[in-house]
Amino acid sequence: MKRYLIIGNGVAGTTAAEHIRRHDEQGEITILTDEELPFYYRIRLNDYISGDMEKKALIAKKTEWYAERRIKLRTGVRVTGADPEKQYVMTAGQERYPYDLLLLATGSRSFVPPIRGADKNGVFTLRTVADADRIISFGSGRDNVLLIGGGLLGLETGKAFQKMGKQVMVVEFFPRLLPRQLDDRGAARLRNMLEDMGFAFRLGAVTREIMGRDAVESVVLESNEVIGADMVIISAGVRPDLDLAKQLGLACGKGITVDAALRTSRPEIFAAGDAAEFAGILYGIWPAAMQQGEIAGTNMAGGRETYHGSVMANKLKVVGIDLAAAGEIDAENRLSARITETDTVYRKIVLDGNRIIGCILLGDTADYAAVTKMIRDKTDIREMKETLKL
C-alpha cells in the first residue's frame, strides 16, 4: 500500500488528493497544512473581513469530505524539515511523516517590499484567514486605510473596508490598475468607475516610508507627499514558498521546476500550484492550480497524464464589476485588436490574423467562455466575427 503525502491544502493539494483516491482506492493519503481550516476559499477573505461572510462559510471542503474519501487531513501542522533519502518530513512538533510519494503544494506567501517602517504595528498582508483575523481585530475604530498595491487583491480589500465605512487610498507603483489584466484604456475606465465609488488613487507612486510612533500614522511617498493613515495593507504580490523544496534539494528557478508529469528533479516528489514552475512559467491562478493538482494526483497514482501548460485566463469580479482577461492582452497595443467602449463596458479582442490570441472584457463578460475556448483551440474565426460582436 502506497503512502501519499501532500504538503498544502489549497486547491492544488486538495484536487491532487481527490484524484489520487480516484485511481488508488487502497493508498494512504495524508495532507499536512499549517492553516487551522480545511480547504477554504482564499479569494473570499475580503467578504469575511467586511462581515458579509462567517468564517465557517469560507470552508470549501468540510471534514466529512475528507472522511468519505479516507484522506487524513492534519491542520495546524508546520513542516520544518525533510530527509529526501529516508523519505520523511519533520514537523515543528517533532513528528515524522514518511512517504513513498510526496506532493509539494506549498503555494505562495505575501511579498513585502523593502519599505522602511513595514514592521510597524498596523501594517498587514492578507493571504490567510489568520491574516484576516488580525486585520479585523486591529481595524476596529480605525477609519483611514491605505493600500499599497492596486492589483486584484488590493482592490477587493479596499472594497471590504469601504463596506465598513472606512476611507480607502490605493498607492500603486505601476501607472495603471491591474497591470496583468488591463491595458491603459481598460485601466483608466476601471479607475473612473472606482473613483465614483469613493476610492482615491496615487498611481505611478512609490512608498518610501511608513511613519508612526506606536502604530501607523502616515505614509510618505517618494514624491514627498505625506498621506495620513492609521492602517496599511501591503498587497504587492506573492512569491512561491520554496523553503521545503530547497531542504529537499529540488531544482528550483522562480518556483519548483517540474516536467510535463508534474515531477520534480526527484522522481518520487511532485509539485503543483503556485509553487510549481513549468516551462519557465509560474501561473499563480486557480484554474492552473486545479489542472496541475489533477494531473499530479493522477500520475502519483500510476497514471500517465501530460501537462501542456494553462491559458493565462481569469474571470473575476473587481469590486462588483465583471472582468475577464485571457491570453495576450497586448498592453503595448502592438497587435491588431477590436475594441468596443461604452460608459460601463470595455471590450478588447486581440487578433493574430483570423485567430483570437487574447481578450479583455470589462463590464461585459458574456462571451468569456466562447472566447477563451477559441484561444485554446486556435480557432479560425472568419465566419464568427459577427456572432462574437467583434
Percent of the chain predicted with pLDDT > 70:
98
Residue 14 one-letter amino acid: T
Nine-digit cell string for 33: 497544512
For residue 126, what pLDDT is reported? Answer: 94
Contacts of 358 (CB under 8 A, 6+ apart): 325, 326, 327, 328, 329, 330, 349, 350, 375
Percent of the chain predicted with pLDDT > 90:
79
Q: How far apart are CA 383 and CA 373, in angstroms?
A: 16
361-375 residue pLDDT tens:
999 998 888 888 899
DSSP category for residue 293: H
Q: Are 232 and 146 in contact (CB under 8 A)?
A: yes
Model confidence at 245, in pLDDT bands (50, 70, 90)? very high
Asked if the model's pLDDT at residue 388 lies above 70, the reply is: no
Kindly state the average pLDDT of the residues 10-34. Answer: 97
Kindly state the average pLDDT of the residues 310-325. Answer: 81
Rg (CA), the chain: 22
Asked if the model's pLDDT at residue 324 lies above 80, the reply is: yes
Sheet holding 207-211, edge to edge: 207-211, 218-221, 226-228
Q: Which domains does the chain have, with CATH numbers?
A: 3-109+238-300 (3.50.50.60), 123-234 (3.50.50.60), 313-377 (3.30.390.30)
Q: Are 158 and 145 in contact (CB under 8 A)?
A: yes
For residue 389, what pLDDT is reported? Answer: 59
Q: Are 62 and 38 in contact (CB under 8 A)?
A: yes
Model confidence at 130, in pLDDT bands (50, 70, 90)? very high
107 vs 383, which has greater pLDDT? 107
Q: How far apart are CA 300 and CA 289, in angstroms?
A: 16
Kindly state the average pLDDT of the residues 256-277. Answer: 98
Strands 101-104 and 96-98: unpaired
Strands 313-318 and 123-124: unpaired
Asked if the model's pLDDT at residue 319 lies above 80, the reply is: no
For residue 343, what pLDDT is reported? Answer: 81
Model confidence at 242, in pLDDT bands (50, 70, 90)? very high
Q: Are 351 and 337 in contact (CB under 8 A)?
A: yes
Nine-digit cell string for 35: 492553516
DSSP category for residue 317: E
The chain-wide mean pLDDT, for the chain, equals 93
Q: Are 294 and 13 in contact (CB under 8 A)?
A: no
Least confident interval from 17-31, 129-143, 147-161? 147-161
Asked if the model's pLDDT at residue 2 lies above 90, the reply is: yes
CA 324, 109, 104: angle at the middle one, nearest 5? 95
For residue 302, what pLDDT is reported? Answer: 96
CB atoms near residue 19 (< 10 Å): 21
N residues, the chain: 390
Q: Are 41 and 60 in contact (CB under 8 A)?
A: yes
Q: Looking at the whole model, is its pTM more than 0.75?
A: yes
Sheet holding 3-7, edge to edge: 71-74, 28-32, 3-7, 101-104, 269-271
Q: How far apart are CA 256 and CA 273, in angstroms?
A: 10
Asked if the model's pLDDT at residue 386 lies above 80, the reply is: no
Q: How far apart are CA 9 and CA 39, in angstroms?
A: 6
Residue keyed to cell 512538533: 93
Kindly state the average pLDDT of the residues 320-342. Answer: 90
Kindly state the average pLDDT of the residues 238-245. Answer: 96
Q: Are 263 and 269 in contact (CB under 8 A)?
A: yes
133-153 residue pLDDT tens:
999 999 988 999 999 998 888
Q: How far apart are CA 300 and CA 262, in angstroms?
A: 9
